[in-house]
Structure 1
Amino acid sequence: MVETARSEKTPGWLDWYENPSKPRFKVPPGAVDAHCHVFGPKDKFPYAPERKYTPCDASKEQLFALRDHLGFSRNVIVQATCHGADNRAMVDALNHAHGRARGVATVRRDSSDADLRVLHEAGIRGVRFNFVRRLVDFTPREELMEIAARIEKLGWHVVIYFEAVDLAELWDFFTALPTTVVVDHMGRPDVSKAVDGPEFERFIKFMTENPNVWSKVSCPERLSVSGPVALNGEQNAYRDVVPFARRMVETFPDRVLWGTDWPHPNLKNHMPDDGLLVDFIPQIATTPELQRKLLVENPMRLYWPELC
């Protein structure tokens, strides 16, 4: 991995894992890490004044080195709240990716059509709406719906980030969105509850009734209660998340994505080994066909349709 100086991050939050293991699982050719970030460096791309956390600097060079180390071919870089609507760090990464990265931006109501065209040319293919209250302030839904209508014309999609307990309240808004909708991290289910319990069944119903909705089956390190400790070797790490993610992959094989979430901002308890996260994949996508859909066919169809 390429080394760089660390920024002054939020106290108590961990640095990303500097020496990830080499995964045992070999991802299929053309695999896409469909959820990751770049942060700073702050002296070139300052963090937003209104941010609610300060991450470590995490550069494009480090991201691309991790991509190659893990065996992936492409990245989807998602704008995080620490940079607000200033997408320059992400666009800079896209411009240096030689066509091997696409992006999901943060867009405001006052973004012009010319601004959106510039983002499209850089490789942006979606916008992210964040509903996690501890990370963002409330944005009026009518403003978000206006943005969704504008980006639909570009063929972009909307990424939504929320927590499971809020789905009922947000259901009507989500189902009114005119685009493809991608849910981050399975809507953050409480994995201490039953996989067939009412909370996760609501999410399954949401996906079933709305065929334009996709989901990322990512971030077991954020969802797990049992954590990275394995019972019978590393293949059992984050075992309490497996039933939820496997159900998603098997129920909606053509509408699931996977990503590392590197560099894993906002974590306090442990920082995951990205090689171990890759080894989580065959636990949730148990056949070569499901693995290829999850890692290659689905993200390519959404982000590089011109190559499919």
Structure 2
Amino acid sequence: MAETESQYRLPEGSCDCHFHIYGPFDRFPAGDEGRFTPSRAFTIEDAFAHWGRMGVSRGVIVHAVGSGEDNAVTYDALRRYPERLRATAILRPDVSDRRLDELTEAGFRAVRVTMIRQDGKPVSTLGTSYEDFRSLAPRIAERGWHAQLWIESSDLVAAAPELEKFPLTYVIDHMSRTMADKGHEHPDFRAFTELLKTGRYWTKISGADRNTRLGRPYADTAPYMRAIVAAAPGQVVWGSDWPHVGHSAETMPAMQDLLRLLHECVPDEATRRAILVDNPTRLYGF
């Protein structure tokens, strides 16, 4: 019998800490996000239906460039479902204090900062650039926000001394985007797990489908997930990365694979509940 999402149903109060929404396009037109541009609308109601099949009740919207840089679709969802949602924003340095206050009141809790590299060069088109973040940091710190960083472990280790000058907490996307052939004993990845132990840094055990070199069922990413949880289980949250934009039909993740990986890498029920329920409550203020 084929596996289904319901076989790995998550505990009551579980939170999907990394997902995206798009549309409806007649109200919130799609932007150009390159290969990450959505093929159709994926609304907040679609997300709720997706969650219902696996037991998730709360979530953190990571606002996407493909949803427009004004954060409007995410703001709208937060205003309509304040008990169930928090969010990460894309910001520009000229954002007004009034708008920052509006976003905070609605449930935005972080700025999405892109520090990932392609061909050795920073990519700043999928979020707030690091340069913009540096000017924004004092203003978001005043409002109790944190910074969500899309960054590789080697760059994180290099950037940490400057990052720690700001009075902020940092959430590292997708297990520090460490590709699965790098080796979980690599000094940069080990240094990343040591940063988690300080309490200034968190990470999302998400993005196995982005980090894998072998494809489904992503077994080559399991050592990284286990190492993260072993190092600092109190600094870890989980995310689905739904709706998995950028994948082809052949590489599109199946949620049962991602949920099975979570259960295999976090077999202890109490630890799994902390990652899914308790840690997101602390980090996002549910």
Structures share fold, TM-score greater than 0.5:
yes
TM-score (norm. length: structure 1): 0.82
Q: CA RMSD in A?
A: 2.2
Match of 1:201 among 187, 190, 196: 190
Unaligned runs of at least 5 residues, structure 2: none
Counterparts in 2 of 1:260-279, with a 5 A limit?
A: 260-268=240-248, 270-279=251-260
If asked which structure has higher relative contact order (CA below 8 Å, sep 6+), I would say 1
Kindly state the Cα deviation for residue 223 of structure 1 after the two structures are TM-superposed: 1.1
1:172 and 2:161 correspond? yes
Kindly state the Cα deviation for residue 84 of structure 1 after the two structures are TM-superposed: 4.7
Match of 1:288 among 233, 250, 269: 269
Q: Give SS of 1:293's match.
A: helix
Q: Taking structure 1 as reference, are residues 98 and 84 closer, same or farther at Cα in structure 2, changes over 3 Å only?
A: closer
Kindly state the Cα deviation for residue 130 of structure 1 after the two structures are TM-superposed: 1.0
Check conservation: 2:148, 2:170, Cα contact below 8 A: yes
Partners of 1:283 and 1:131 in 2: CA distance? 30
Query: 1:25: which partner in 2?
Result: 8
Q: What does the per-residue CA deviation read over 1:96-146, in whole Å, with 9 as the maximum and x for residues that have no partner?
A: 325111111111111111101111121111111012245534966453122
Counterparts in 2 of 1:247-258, with a 5 A limit?
A: 247-258=227-238
Query: 1:94: which partner in 2?
Result: 78
Match of 1:160 among 144, 149, 153: 149
Partners of 1:153 and 1:250 in 2: CA distance? 32
Match of 2:132 among 133, 140, 143: 143
Check conservation: 2:115, 2:130, Cα contact below 8 A: no
Q: What does the per-residue CA deviation read over 1:177-234, in whole Å, with 9 as the maximum and x for residues that have no partner?
A: 32111000111112113211223123223334x4210000111111112221xxxxxx
Amino acid at match of 1:212: R
Partners of 2:284 and 2:128 in 1: CA distance? 26
Q: Taking structure 1 as reference, are residues 98 and 201 closer, same or farther at Cα in structure 2, changes over 3 Å only?
A: closer
Check conservation: 1:164, 1:190, Cα contact below 8 A: no
Amino acid at match of 1:46: P
Partners of 1:71 and 1:119 in 2: CA distance? 28
Amino acid at match of 2:242: W
Counterparts in 2 of 1:112-123, with a 5 A limit?
A: 112-123=96-107
Query: 1:4: which partner in 2?
Result: none
Check conservation: 1:165, 1:199, Cα contact below 8 A: yes
Q: How many residues align?
A: 276
Q: Give SS of 2:276's match.
A: helix
1:212 and 2:200 correspond? yes
TM-score (norm. length: structure 2): 0.88
Partners of 1:24 and 1:275 in 2: CA distance? 8
| Greater percentage in strand | 2
Partners of 1:68 and 1:44 in 2: CA distance? 25
Match of 1:297 among 273, 278, 283: 278
Check conservation: 2:91, 2:128, Cα contact below 8 A: no
Kindly state the Cα deviation for residue 82 of structure 1 after the two structures are TM-superposed: 2.3
Query: 2:61: which partner in 1?
Result: 77
Kindly state the Cα deviation for residue 44 of structure 1 after the two structures are TM-superposed: 1.6
